[in-house]
Amino acid sequence: MNNTLNNIQNQQLRPYIKHYFVLDFSSLPQESIEHKVPPTGFPVLQFHFGENTNYYRHKHFTNQSLFIGQCSRHILLYPIRGMKLFGVNFKPYGLYNLFGLSPYSFMNSGIESSLFFGEENINRISQTLKTDGIEKGIAEIEALLLAYQNKSVKPQPYFDGLVDKMETQNGLINQQDILDKNVSVRTLQRYFKEVIGISPKLFCQILRHKYIMELLYENQEIKWSDMQLNGFYYDFAHFSKDFIHFSGLTPKKYLPLKNNFAAALLKAKQ
C-alpha cells in the first residue's frame, strides 16, 4: 500500500484544511482484508477513484465519495486490491467553518457527499483523479469546495485557537486552564457540540488516544509503561480502561491486530 500526502494549492482553503492524502491499494496481496483502525480525529471528505468498493461495509454508503464525521472508537474497514482513496483532511473546525456543516449530525458515521455537491460533480472529480492525475484532481476539488463555501458562517477565532492548543498538546490539557475567566465552560461546550461535533472532554480523550497509537506504530520497542508514566495516565489500570473504551480490546490483545492500513491512516492524520 502506498501512502502520500499533498499540500493545499489554493491559499483560501488553508484556514479550513490540513492537507490531502492518497492511499493506493494496487499491490494489496489479497482481495479483501479486515483492518481495525483507531479514531484518527476530525472530519474527512474522501473520494474513491480505483476499484469499486464499500470498505465500510455499510448498506447506505456507495463507493464514490463520503463525508466521514468524528469517530469516537476503533472501526473495521475492508479495503480491496486496486482500491484508491483520496482524502481531504479538514481541521477540527474546518468543515463547519467552510460549509456550516456540523460533524455532530454524523458522528461515528458519514453522509454521501453527492447529497451536498451533486452526483455530477462527484463523478467528474472521480474521473479526473483516474485519468488526469492527483494534481488536476486537487485543482478541481478545491474549486468545488470554494464554490460551495457558506460565507454566512462566521468563524470563532478564540475558540478555534483553543482547539489548536488542544491538538498541539495531544489532548493533555485542562479546559479551565486555557479559558479566559470571562468565558464559561458551558459556552465552550456549546461551541464544541456545533463546530467540532463532540464534547471538549471526548475531543481531548481522542487526541490522547490517537497520539498513543501513533507512538505504538512508530516505535516497535515501546512499552505500555512508557505511555502510562509519561503524563498520559495515573497508572496502568486507567490506561487499560481507556484503551478498552476506544478499541474494545485490552492493550495486550490489540497488539496482534496492528496493521499497515492503520499506520498509513495515522500518518495521513498527523
Other Cβ atoms less than 10 A from the Cβ of 241: the count is 11
Q: Find the domain containing 11 and state its range.
A: 2-147
Q: Does 133 share its domain with 56?
A: yes
Give residue-wise pLDDT tens across range 186-200. Answer: 999 999 999 999 999
Would you state the pLDDT for residue 227? 65
Cβ neighbors of 52 (< 8 A, separation 6 or more) are 63
pLDDT of residue 229 exceeding 60: no
**Total of domains in the chain:** 2
**CA-closest candidate to residue 78, choices 30, 34, 47:** 34
Q: Does 182 share its domain with 263?
A: yes
Would you state the pLDDT for residue 29? 67
Rounded Cα distance, 72 and 108, in Å: 6
Please report whether residue 152 resides in a domain.
no
Mean pLDDT of the chain: 87
Give residue-wise pLDDT tens across range 127-186. Answer: 999 999 999 999 999 999 999 999 999 999 999 999 999 999 989 888 778 899 899 999
Q: Which of 113, 147, 181 corresponds to the end of one domain?
A: 147
Report yes or no: 252 and 71 within 8 Å, Cβ to Cβ: no
Would you state the pLDDT for residue 30? 64
- Name the percent of the chain in helix, strand, coil, to the closest 5: 45, 15, 40
Q: Which of 147, 180, 208 corresponds to the end of one domain?
A: 147
Please report whether residue 181 resides in a domain.
yes
The CA-CA-CA angle for residues 39, 45, 50, to 5°, reads: 100
Q: Does 143 share its domain with 184?
A: no
Would you state the pLDDT for residue 211? 87
Please report whether residue 63 resides in a domain.
yes
Would you state the pLDDT for residue 194? 95
The x, y and z cell numbers of residue 253, run together, are 490483545
Q: Which of 93, 119, 147 corresponds to the end of one domain?
A: 147
